[in-house]
Every structure is written in C-alpha cells, then in structure tokens.
Chains A and B, each alone.
Chain A
Amino acid sequence: SQQGEEDPQALSIQEGENATMNCSYKTSINNLQWYRQNSGRGLVHLILIRSNEREKHSGRLRVTLDTSKKSSSLLITASRAADTASYFCATDGNDYKLSFGAGTTVTVRA
C-alpha cells in the first residue's frame, strides 16, 4: 500500500511560475525524499530531507518537512518546460526501502 498522498494530483502552470505540491504520510520516518519521473521513464532523485530538518534547498527546489503534521511540500521556482513530469514523495524508515505516494503530475506551459 502507498505510504503517502500527494496533493494536488495534477498541476498546470505557465513557464516562469512557481509550482507547489504537498505530501502527507502515515508512519514515522527517517528521511523524506522527492523524485521526478518523466513519462515512461525511471525515477530521478531530487532532494532528501532528514526527519530532524525543517527546510532544505537545492537550486530551484525548496522542500519543507513538518513531522508533527506528517507532511512535506516541494516548491519549484521559476518553472521551465523541462520541469514537466510527475513528482513523487517517498519516505524511508530503518530498512531503506522507499514508500511512495501516488504523485503529482506537473505540466509547464510555454
């Protein structure tokens, strides 16, 4: 079963705008990660935030984590057409396996 849920399921924005998506999860975690998947391809790791961290940045990406609410958000600033993809949050516990949500599909219009 899926560990978490992403919200919204789909997002359509204009190039240059920001995209925000949220993830909620159910059980305690060691880390929360975000991955990107282009259509029909494998997943690419974007960013990892540890359970004792609240915010992390990587280039145009900003991730927040609120363990009290069991939720995380991913912000992509100044979006580009190449950002069009599905984005998944994934949690890992002590056993390293990842539990994914159902994903947010982002479409960036030129």
Chain B
Amino acid sequence: DTGVSQNPRHKITKRGQNVTFRCDPISEHNRLYWYRQTLGQGPEFLTYFQNEAQLEKSRLLSDRFSAERPKGSFSTLEIQRTEQGDSAMYLCASSPGGGLAKNIQYFGAGTRLSVL
C-alpha cells in the first residue's frame, strides 16, 4: 500500500506526559501537512512542510507542539506536557508539489490521542 501511514493509531497517555506521532507520506509527495480534528468538527490546520522545510505553523500550535520532517521523508509531531485539551484526532496528509493534483491532499487514517 502506498498511501499515507500514521502510527500509532491510538495513544492513551496521562496528563503531563510527552507523546510523539509519526507520519509516512506517499513517497513522491514533497508536501506534508498536520491537522487536528476534534469530535464533530472539521480538521484544523496545524503546520506544513515542503520537503524538510517547515513553512507555516498555525496559532493552534503552541510551544508544547513541535513537528519535524528530517530529510524530507517521514514526519513526527511531538506534544510535550500533554493536557486534556490535546485529546483529538491528529491527521497527516501529503500532496505532490506540482502537476494537476498539487492541491489534492491524501490523508492518513489518523492518530487518536486520549489524555487522561
């Protein structure tokens, strides 16, 4: 399967712990996006990369959140000192850098975070 892969699928953690999520995009896609989705809402943009460069971060991404994409391949999203309000589905998406499909994003199945 050459789709977007996210791990883990589910994460339960205690408040104050750090968590890290991984996203493997479609291999030829140079853009990678992170979104957060809470129950009953649409996804909200967090940050995106073009290759290894992080080009934009949302105001939603507090200083407890950090994302990396070393070597422009997989990406990690880390949340430090988790809070109950961080409980959400974290979605990763990728898109090609050009061509007719450049605006279409391909999503992974998401990582559901529950902070107790």
Contacts and interface: CB of A to CB of B under 8 A. Distances in A.
Interface of A: 1-2, 30-31, 33, 35, 40-45, 48, 88, 90, 92, 95-103
Interface centre among B4, B56, B91, B103 (most CB of A within 10 A): B103
B25 interface: no
A103 B48 contact: no
Contacts of A44: 107
Nearest to A88: B42
Interface centre among B4, B33, B42, B91 (most CB of A within 10 A): B42
B69 interface: no
Interface of B: 4, 6, 31, 33, 35, 40-45, 48, 55-56, 89, 91, 93, 95, 102-110, 112
Nearest to A9: B40
Contacts of B105: 43, 45, 98
A96 to B, nearest CB: 6
Contacts, number: 64
Contact of A96 (B4, B48, B108): B48
B103 A102 contact: no
13 contacts: A33-B104, A40-B89, A41-B109, A41-B110, A42-B4, A42-B107, A43-B105, A44-B107, A88-B42, A96-B48, A97-B33, A98-B35, A99-B45
A65 B27 CA distance: 33
Contacts of A41: 109-110
B103 A42 contact: no
B102 A96 contact: yes
Nearest to A42: B107
- Closest CB pairs A-B (n = 6): A100-B42, A42-B107, A43-B107, A42-B109, A97-B45, A88-B42
Nearest to A43: B107
Contact of B56 (A1, A35, A95, A100): A95
